[in-house]
């Protein structure tokens, strides 16, 4: 039998004289009352922590206990019925505030519990839980914000990890959490946000949106985002580049922008200069541009219109210089949108080199000097190569619809956009599911966002033209003066 001697370290007695010595630490037996006190302290700390983290649940439990003590079992039942009736009335009368304060937080709590159940397994199998000194280190699951379509999961990274590690395992995460797709969004240092799409909000065609009552040029509603919220496009103080192959739905976005600005166009606060080399798409609503702007389809007429816009812009800058730094649309100085469809024809494919150079010079001037004085260039093209559109870097906001090659995504949205989830080359070519779908990268956020533009049909454009038509002049019947009328009698 092995025996020990000594108070701190002891050697195991071994009858084999050639065996190496084996040293073991002595075993100290902690008294039972000390273990009991420690466990009670841990229990009290856990209960206090739970109460502090869930104040609403604490208040509900306290109210139920008071109702039970004063009224017996009918008390909690009556209280629950009243609360349920209030929630139903709230949901019926004020659905937006109910969704913001009740439905979404409750859904987020439920979804977080669901992620917590599978967190360790998905992180380990997906090789996102490194081992350090024999210990498995899991990224920390944070707050979960949920909508009907997406979950935004906050994650605190393990030291040494990066967002690229999670982006490389995005497919593993999507399958592990039973989501359609997963995108990795950058947050603060040491943290990321996993955007998990649970249901595609852009699967069906979106009908044309009604023109807004109040036009906000910094937030024009043109469609829907992937999380179900409205897609708002800014035109004031920026320029927009739209790229997409044939049939990708560029016309849907162009007409949605015009439709969203329609009330301001009617009042004269917005003018639209439309360049339509194809003589097909924008010509369908030419009445709008003829009355509230200008329309040109011939290359020479287009370059003249652009050069006139440059002169007007420079003249406006001379008038406003030293008076204001940010443009506010007025009748005298309206906001001007220069709309160019198939701009690649004008900058690269047009046979006349002189006109091509004049177009490039005019566009470069408008994009570099027009933002501060109320000019915005919205250009649409199919081929985003640099030799086709040499000034594409002058467009702060960019939209990529269905593209033919993966490399074109980074050409439009910037380097690394496809690795961050902007897979515009994978958008379906089926018009029912892919027309109007795009990825957006705005100036203030490098992460691409998936969106879909509303479909503006022929009847909608005709109605827009009718809305912009001048009011008919009523012919009044000539009034006979009273003296002449009496004389005639």
Q: For residue range 284-335, what is the model confidence (pLDDT) as tens digits? A: 889 999 999 999 999 999 999 999 999 999 999 988 887 877 788 999 999 9
CA distance 354 to 362: 12
CA distance 415 to 89: 50
Question: Within 13 Å, how many C-alpha atoms sit on residue 426's CB side?
Answer: 7
How do the pLDDT tens digits run along the chain, 489 residues long?
444 444 444 555 666 666 666 666 666 778 888 889 999 999 999 988 888 887 877 788 888 888 888 878 888 888 888 888 988 898 898 888 888 888 888 888 899 999 999 999 999 999 999 988 888 999 999 999 998 899 999 999 999 899 889 988 999 999 999 999 898 888 788 999 999 999 888 989 999 999 998 999 999 999 999 988 899 999 999 999 999 998 899 999 999 999 999 999 999 999 999 999 988 788 888 999 999 999 999 999 999 999 999 999 999 998 888 787 778 899 999 999 999 998 988 988 888 999 999 999 999 999 999 998 999 999 999 888 877 788 888 899 999 999 989 899 999 998 888 888 888 999 988 888 889 999 998 766 778 899 999 999 999 999 999 887 664 444 444 444 443 333 333
CA distance 59 to 8: 53
Tokens 């979960």, residue located:
144
- Checking DSSP bridges between strand 230-233 and strand 240-243, what pairing results, if any? unpaired
| Strand boundaries in 292-334, DSSP class E | 293-296
| Strand boundaries in 302-444, DSSP class E | 335-340, 375-381, 397-400, 437-442
Per-residue pLDDT reduced to its tens digit, 377-405: 999 998 888 777 888 888 999 999 999 89
Question: Within 13 Å, how many C-alpha atoms sit on residue 451's CB side?
Answer: 28
Query: For residues 225 and 150, is the Cβ–Cβ distance under 8 A?
Result: no
φ, ψ for residue 17, nearest 5 deg = -70, -20
CA distance 341 to 460: 19
CA distance 427 to 200: 13
């Amino acid at each position: 039998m092995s025996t020990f001697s000594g108070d701190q370290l002891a050697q195991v007695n071994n009858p084999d004289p050639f065996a190496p010595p084996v040293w073991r630490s002595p075993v100290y037996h902690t008294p039972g009352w000390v273990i009991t006190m420690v466990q009670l302290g841990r229990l009290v700390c856990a209960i206090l922590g739970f109460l502090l983290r869930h104040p609403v649940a604490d208040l509900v439990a306290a109210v139920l206990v008071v109702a039970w003590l004063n009224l017996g079992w009918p008390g909690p039942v009556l209280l629950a019925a009243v609360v349920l009736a209030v929630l139903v009335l709230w949901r019926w009368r004020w659905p937006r505030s109910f969704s913001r304060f009740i439905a979404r937080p409750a859904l987020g709590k439920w979804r977080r519990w669901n992620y917590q159940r599978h967190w360790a397994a998905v992180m380990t199998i997906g090789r996102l839980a490194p081992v350090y000194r024999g210990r498995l280190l899991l990224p920390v699951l944070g707050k979960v914000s949920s909508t009907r379509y997406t979950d935004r999961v906050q994650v605190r990274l393990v030291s040494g990890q990066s967002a690229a590690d999670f982006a490389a395992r995005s497919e593993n995460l999507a399958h592990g959490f039973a989501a359609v797709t997963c995108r990795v969004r950058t947050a603060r240092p040491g943290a990321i946000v996993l955007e998990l799409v649970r249901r595609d909000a852009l699967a069906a065609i979106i009908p044309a949106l009604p023109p807004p009552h109040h036009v906000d040029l910094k937030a024009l509603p043109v469609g829907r985002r992937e999380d179900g919220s409205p897609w708002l496009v800014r035109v004031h103080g920026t320029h927009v580049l739209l790229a997409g192959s044939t049939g990708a739905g560029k016309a849907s976005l162009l007409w949605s922008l015009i439709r969203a600005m329609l009330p301001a166009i009617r009042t004269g606060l917005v003018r639209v200069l439309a360049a339509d080399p194809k003589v097909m798409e924008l010509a369908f609503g030419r009445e709008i541009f003829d009355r509230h702007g200008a329309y040109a389809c011939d290359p020479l007429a287009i370059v003249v219109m652009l050069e006139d816009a440059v002169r007007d812009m420079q003249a406006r800058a001379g008038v406003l210089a030293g008076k204001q730094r940010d443009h506010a649309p007025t009748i005298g100085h309206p906001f001007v949108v220069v709309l160019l469809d198939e701009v690649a024809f004008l900058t690269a494919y047009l046979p006349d080199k002189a006109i091509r150079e004049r177009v490039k010079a005019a566009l470069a001037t408008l994009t570099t000097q027009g933002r501060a004085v109320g000019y915005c260039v919205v250009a649409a093209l199919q081929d985003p190569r640099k030799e086709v559109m040499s000034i594409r870097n002058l467009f702060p906001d960019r939209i990529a619809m269905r593209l033919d090659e993966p490399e074109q995504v980074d050409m439009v949205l910037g380097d690394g956009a496809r690795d961050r989830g902007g897979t515009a080359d994978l958008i379906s070519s089926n018009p029912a599911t892919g027309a109007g779908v795009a990825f957006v990268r705005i100036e203030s956020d490098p992460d691409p966002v998936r969106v879909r533009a509303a479909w503006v049909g022929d009847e909608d454009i005709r109605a827009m033209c009718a809305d912009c038509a001048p009011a008919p002049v009523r012919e009044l019947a000539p009034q006979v003066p009273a003296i002449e009328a009496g004389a005639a009698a």
